[in-house]
Chains A and B, each alone.
Chain A
Amino acid sequence: MSSSNNPSSRKEKSSGERPSKAGNNFRQTFQEISIKHASRRRITNKIVSIIAIVFVIGAIIPLASILFEVIKNGVAVLSVQFLTQPPGAIGSDAGGIGPAIQGTLITVGLASLIGAPIGVLSGVYLSEFATTSSVKGPKQRAISFFANTIRLFNDVLTGLPSIVIGIVGYVAIVLALNSFSVWAGAFALSIIMIPIVSRVSEETLKLVPNSLREAGYSLGISKTKITLFIVLKNAKDGVLTGVILAISRIAGETAPLIMTILGTSLFFTSLTGPVDALPLRIWRLASQPYESAHGFGWGAALVLILIILALSASIRLIARGKGIRVRTETI
């Protein structure tokens, strides 16, 4: 009479049937296989971790041995006189590398002042403006063609031998001004710097989640302000890393400097005259046959490394101090 119980009993029946016999068998075989796999996976895991550690050590050894060698040989010559005096007579162990330190700071500083803004802005253009959607049709195609061309040139420029850039600086500025000059050196170095900064900035800015730009648009904020105060601010760390990377790279450049600032044993006089630089000085000292010159060379190398280290550390510290302390992982 009461068929009202049917649905529930029907439900039970159908749910009881579902895990079929074939399914049970498969579950069992699957479990057996996965147990076998698990032990193999543990062994593979161990082997791969060991290999990884070995390679990491392999990568660190040359780096550490260079550092060790530089410190071992360089520390001995470090002194106030060494850091501040101009080089003494060739072969003597008097004098120092004062002009080279000064020259490197001036040339690299000037190159950064030219290269970093251009590089960052070109990165901003490529990331934020070249893909704009408000223009459509042929104009947009022209813009994206232009952007791709810039990217291509960036890549080519990054791969260009630095001596070629030095020659360009020589032809464009040294010959034009008829004198080796700081300007020429800074120009050549900034050309090396720009593609690196531009590329890194573009990539970092692209990592800024679009939701932040949209949040900005939704508040009726202009694109310029969104780019400057929201996007760039958010990508600050990455952009700075790019700039530091580029500065480290140009601080160690030798070839373009031979063609542009020439190198001298005198202190800085004017932006239009020649100046010394650490890599140049290292190169000159190393090519001398005297033992004392080699010691000075090691010392100069150590100073160069320390300058670059101090630069990265201080820029990072400043960046962190100014912004909000908490660097959030979840953007």
Chain B
Amino acid sequence: MRLSSSSNEEVTRYSPQTSDNDKRVVVAPATTQTKIKLSIQNVNAWFGKKHAVKGVSLEVKENSVTAFIGPSGCGKTTLLRCINRMHEMTPNAKAEGRVILDGVDVYDKSSDPAMVKRRIGMVFQKPNPFPTMSIHDNVAAGLKLNGIRDKKLINEVVEQSLKGAALWDEVRNDLHMPGMGLSGGQQQRLCLARALAMQPEILLMDEPTSALDPIASSKIEDLVQQLKEHLTIIIVTHNMQQAARVSEQTAFMYLGELIEYNPTRDIFKNPQKELTEKYISGRFG
């Protein structure tokens, strides 16, 4: 599934020819459109006095998957949370810099933090469905609590989002059951569906598989490949092989600084910085 459906340039640059020889052309992946969706400019973030992200700048292409990797405490999750202004919800946290989404700074005085979060969805490290809500309500929560009342529309979006998260077939008959009754992997896909229901343009995933078993993880990874057709994904991961598998661009961070930001294939075949090489080949320390 991963190989055939993805447009991961490196792996499927040449499409297998089935019948028509005249069509023997190099497949142009979706990523050839080089529109910059998100531009992070000189972002700094603090927890109290701790300088967690130090002047990071990078650009993210539309419909691409970008991975943030680095050792624990390197600031990758903090940087991710700066993108949708989630960082500032933490007590004593502070962020500075510009995060330009489609030409508009999300930190601009005129932009509404809640609106930013609706455009930039997020999936967290631990599956966190709302415990008091059913599967249906979990997915519908974002719509309902943001003022959408049309039941038919809500049902439609719930179905579509669950399908998008590849959960529909498993839960279609149990939509009224509590979300917490699902397995860990299903819960995480439920959270994914919940985020998708808001029709986000960017999806931030904060170590989305670290609490899951390998099979559930690989399902999430497959989903990432499908979802990027419609949105731009940024994923923080501890698992370097996962970054290698799912992303097109990889950013390596260390002690709050962006050390290297390059196409994933270059990072894992021929990193430009010695620090990157040491980290990805497990020679750290």
Known: A217-B86, A217-B89, A229-B145. 5 other contacts (CB 8 A): A211-B124, A217-B117, A218-B121, A219-B117, A328-B180
Does any Cβ of A come within 8 Å of B134's Cβ? yes
Alpha-carbon distance A220/B124, docked complex (angstroms): 15
Does any Cβ of B come within 8 Å of A234's Cβ? yes
The answer to whether B181 touches A219, judged by C-beta atoms less than 8 angstroms apart, is: no
Tell me the nearest residue of chain A to B114, going by C-beta.
A220
A interface residues, Cβ below 8 angstroms from B: 131, 133-134, 136, 209, 211-222, 225-226, 229-230, 233-234, 236, 323-324, 326, 328, 330-331
The answer to whether A218 touches B91, judged by C-beta atoms less than 8 angstroms apart, is: no
Alpha-carbon distance A222/B84, docked complex (angstroms): 15
B residues less than 8 Å from A230 (CB atoms): 130, 132, 141
Task: From the candidates B90, B178, B180, B191, name the one contacting A215 in the complex (CB within 8 A).
Answer: B191
Does any Cβ of A come within 8 Å of B183's Cβ? no
Distance of B212 from chain A, by nearest CB (Å): 15
A residues less than 8 Å from B117 (CB atoms): 217-220
The answer to whether A218 touches B145, judged by C-beta atoms less than 8 angstroms apart, is: no
Known contacts A134-B88, A214-B89, A219 near B146 by CB under 8 Å: yes
Distance of A144 from chain B, by nearest CB (Å): 10
Alpha-carbon distance A70/B175, docked complex (angstroms): 50
B residues less than 8 Å from A326 (CB atoms): 178, 180-181
Distance of A114 from chain B, by nearest CB (Å): 28
Does any Cβ of A come within 8 Å of B194's Cβ? yes
Query: A209, A221, A222, A330: which has the most chain B beta carbons within 10 Å?
Result: A221
The answer to whether B118 touches A214, judged by C-beta atoms less than 8 angstroms apart, is: no
Distance of B208 from chain A, by nearest CB (Å): 13
**Chain B at the A interface: SS class:** mixed
Known contacts A212-B130, A215-B191, A221-B146, A133 near B88 by CB under 8 Å: yes
Task: From the candidates A133, A211, A323, name the one contacting B92 in the complex (CB within 8 A).
Answer: A133
Tell me the nearest residue of chain B to A331, going by C-beta.
B131
A residues less than 8 Å from B92 (CB atoms): 133
Task: From the candidates B91, B130, B131, B178, name the one contacting A131 in the complex (CB within 8 A).
Answer: B91
Does any Cβ of A come within 8 Å of B263's Cβ? no
**What are 12 A-B residue pairs whose CB atoms fall within 8 Å in the complex?**
A213-B89, A214-B89, A215-B129, A217-B114, A218-B117, A218-B122, A218-B124, A220-B114, A220-B116, A220-B118, A233-B132, A326-B178
Alpha-carbon distance A217/B146, docked complex (angstroms): 11
B interface residues, Cβ below 8 angstroms from A: 84, 86, 88-94, 114-118, 121-122, 124, 126, 128-134, 141-142, 145-146, 178, 180-181, 191, 194-195, 198
The answer to whether B126 touches A211, judged by C-beta atoms less than 8 angstroms apart, is: yes
B residues less than 8 Å from A236 (CB atoms): 132
**The 4 A-B residue pairs with the shortest CB-CB distance in the complex, in nearest-first order:** A220-B118, A219-B142, A218-B122, A211-B128
Alpha-carbon distance A136/B91, docked complex (angstroms): 9
Alpha-carbon distance A229/B141, docked complex (angstroms): 9
Tell me the nearest residue of chain B to A324, going by C-beta.
B178
Tell me the nearest residue of chain B to A328, going by C-beta.
B180
B residues less than 8 Å from A234 (CB atoms): 130-132
Alpha-carbon distance A234/B114, docked complex (angstroms): 22
Task: From the candidates A134, A136, A212, name the one contacting B131 in the complex (CB within 8 A).
Answer: A212
The answer to whether A133 touches B114, judged by C-beta atoms less than 8 angstroms apart, is: no
The answer to whether B145 touches A215, judged by C-beta atoms less than 8 angstroms apart, is: no
Alpha-carbon distance A1/B29, docked complex (angstroms): 52
Alpha-carbon distance A209/B128, docked complex (angstroms): 9
Alpha-carbon distance A323/B130, docked complex (angstroms): 13
The answer to whether A330 touches B141, judged by C-beta atoms less than 8 angstroms apart, is: no
Alpha-carbon distance A131/B88, docked complex (angstroms): 13
B residues less than 8 Å from A323 (CB atoms): 132
The answer to whether A220 touches B130, judged by C-beta atoms less than 8 angstroms apart, is: no
B residues less than 8 Å from A219 (CB atoms): 117-118, 121, 141-142, 145-146, 194-195, 198
Alpha-carbon distance A22/B116, docked complex (angstroms): 62
The answer to whether B130 touches A324, judged by C-beta atoms less than 8 angstroms apart, is: no
Alpha-carbon distance A211/B122, docked complex (angstroms): 12
Task: From the candidates A211, A213, A225, A330, name the one contacting B145 in the complex (CB within 8 A).
Answer: A225
A residues less than 8 Å from B89 (CB atoms): 133-134, 213-214, 217
Tell me the nearest residue of chain B to A209, going by C-beta.
B128
A residues less than 8 Å from B115 (CB atoms): 220
A residues less than 8 Å from B86 (CB atoms): 214, 217-218
Query: A214, A222, A234, A323: which has the most chain B beta carbons within 10 Å?
Result: A214
The answer to whether A136 touches B94, judged by C-beta atoms less than 8 angstroms apart, is: yes
Alpha-carbon distance A251/B195, docked complex (angstroms): 47
The answer to whether A215 touches B124, judged by C-beta atoms less than 8 angstroms apart, is: yes
A residues less than 8 Å from B118 (CB atoms): 219-220
Distance of A271 from chain B, by nearest CB (Å): 37
Alpha-carbon distance A308/B83, docked complex (angstroms): 52
